[in-house]
Amino acid sequence: MLVFLLICIIIGVVLALVITFIRSVIAVASPSIECPACARKIKFIGNSGHCYKCRSKIYKHSNGTYMTRQ
């Protein structure tokens, strides 16, 4: 019974470490771009989203540049 509890705790700790590691990898891998509206450096994940500074809608154009949507 004690061994079972120990295994559960170890699995829990390993899972927490793995999730933390994956999150940090995603944060590092996501490109840092310049907001086309306010020219600040922002982290941008995916093909469309919001600038967290000026709240303008940003999307990735097919030619690779980032543009604001009016």
To the nearest whole angstrom, how small is the minimum distance from the Cβ of residue 34 to Zn ion? 9
Binds Zn ion (CB under 5 A): choice among 23, 41, 53, 57: 53
Tokens read off for 12: 């829990």
Instruction: Determine if residue 60 is left, alpha or beta; phi over 0 gives left, psi from -120 to 50 gives alpha, anything else beta.
Output: beta
Binds Zn ion (CB under 5 A): choice among 9, 22, 30, 35: 35
Give CA angle at 22 (17, 24), nearest 5°. 95
Binds Zn ion (CB under 5 A): choice among 49, 54, 60, 68: 54
Report the interface residues with Zn ion, using CB under 5 A. 35, 37-38, 51, 53-54
